[in-house]
């Protein structure tokens, strides 16, 4: 786990030859998690391991050619949520402890905790040539989940 200077939070991810880092002031953003994945599909045999029953049911409402891509975005969002929560809780949570509601350019996550209490997380979903990037922020520091958040990728 990266060690940030006092008062800062951050997250690192890599895929292929690309690395992404996000760092911010702890009092401004509270925490952050980022993940980057190649833009290929999430193999169907991983769905039961990574995705909850509700997430798999939601995927089935999408056209066949989009299901594996959306499954990959769900996986990436869960990775970003894990990286957000771990520095604070030190909890090694299971994929099924995180339930993602995936929008077009954003997501909302619920992280189940013992005793029925849970945490809510908001995030962004970005597509860049060859990659997907997800960014997770604590709900208290994020904009409401309303589909108005945009993510722009640099031109090559």
CA 72-73-77 angle, 5° bins = 120
Full strand arrangement of the beta sheet holding 33-38 = 33-38, 131-138, 118-128, 106-112, 98-102
- pLDDT of 115: 52
User: Which domains are delineated in the chain?
Assistant: 8-141 (3.90.470.20)
d(Cα 11, Cα 149) in Å, to the nearest integer?
Answer: 21
pTM score, whole prediction: 0.87
**Distance between CA atoms of residues 135 and 87, nearest Å:** 15
Q: pLDDT tens digits, the chain, 156 residues: what are they?
A: 788 999 999 999 999 888 999 998 888 888 999 999 999 899 999 999 999 999 999 999 999 888 989 999 999 999 999 999 888 888 888 999 999 999 888 899 998 865 555 688 999 999 888 999 999 998 876 654 444 444 433 332
Structure confidence at residue 1 (pLDDT): 77
């Amino acid at each position: 786990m990266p060690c940030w200077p006092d008062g800062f939070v951050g997250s690192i991810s890599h895929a292929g030859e690309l690395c992404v880092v996000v760092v911010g002031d702890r009092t401004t953003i509270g925490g952050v998690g980022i993940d980057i994945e190649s833009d290929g599909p999430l193999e169907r045999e991983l769905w039961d391991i990574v995705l909850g029953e509700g997430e798999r049911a939601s995927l089935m409402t999408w056209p066949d050619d989009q299901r594996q891509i959306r499954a990959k975005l769900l996986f990436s969002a869960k990775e970003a949520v894990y990286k957000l929560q771990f520095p604070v809780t030190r909890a090694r949570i299971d994929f099924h402890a995180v339930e993602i509601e995936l929008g077009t350019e954003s997501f909302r996550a619920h992280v189940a905790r013992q005793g029925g209490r849970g945490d809510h997380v908001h995030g962004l979903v970005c597509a860049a040539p060859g990659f997907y990037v997800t960014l997770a922020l604590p709900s208290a520091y994020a904009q409401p989940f309303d589909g108005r958040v945009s993510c722009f990728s640099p031109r090559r």
